[in-house]
Amino acid sequence: MKKIYVFLFFVAVLLNTNATFSQIKKAGPIITDYGFVFKVENTDYKVNTSKELKAVFDIMNSPEDTKKRNSSIETAARFLNMHAQENVPTNKLHAVLVVHNNASKDIITNEAYKKRYGTDNPNEEMIKVLMNSGVQVIFCGQSSMARGFPKEELIPGVQLSLSAMTALIQLQDEGYRLIKF
């Protein structure tokens, strides 16, 4: 009986410790359903809230499981949410996704995705929310041709570029900083 009490005591301590030290990720304030981030208090390296933050995300990988959402795409939502939580004005936050290679499938319409993979596109709603929040989504024309994803199958609002390389170069020339996974 004593062993049970000792075990229960340790379980209670562990549960209490986890509740005390763990934080909960939260979404928003820009995108409420995606991009959950931790609120980090008392940082030493402060966010400069007066500067524009321009990020271009090079999105080329995607889960093999066609039912899983692409977490690399969701990074744009995390970028917006965490900086907005730190009081960076939304007009100073700029994000672009340049999509190519294996991630090509993630930006086609639900109907096209269903025809190809027999399931709903787990990324479609997130892509739409991102674009409605001002995120540009640019698709590599070379991947479009090589992988057989024509412009007509893209989620409305996704822009077709000559290539991912072209888009990445031009955006970096415009002051965007490359975020690569």
User: pLDDT category, 27, cuts 50, 70, 90?
Assistant: confident
**C-alpha dihedral over 67, 72, 73, 74, to 10 degrees?**
90
Query: Locate tokens 């490359």: which residue?
Result: 178
CA–CA dist 55, 127 (Å, integer): 16
Q: What is the mean pLDDT of residues 28-32?
A: 94
Q: What is the mean pLDDT of residues 100-109?
A: 98
Residue 17 has pLDDT above 50, yes or no: no
3 burial (CB, 10 Å; 0-12 / 13-18 / 19+) is exposed
Provide the residue range defining the domain that includes 87: 3-180
Q: What is the mean pLDDT of residues 102-107?
A: 98
User: pLDDT category, 36, cuts 50, 70, 90?
Assistant: very high
136-140 and 93-99 beta bridge pairing: parallel
What pLDDT is attached to residue 136?
A: 98
CATH label of the domain that carries residue 166:
3.40.1260.10
Residue 112 has pLDDT above 50, yes or no: yes
| pTM metric for this prediction | 0.86
Residue 20 has pLDDT above 60, yes or no: no
Number of domains in the chain: 1
Give 62-103 pLDDT, tens digit per residue.
999 999 999 999 999 999 999 999 999 999 999 999 999 999
Residue 103's nearest CA partner among 68, 152, 55, 129 is 68
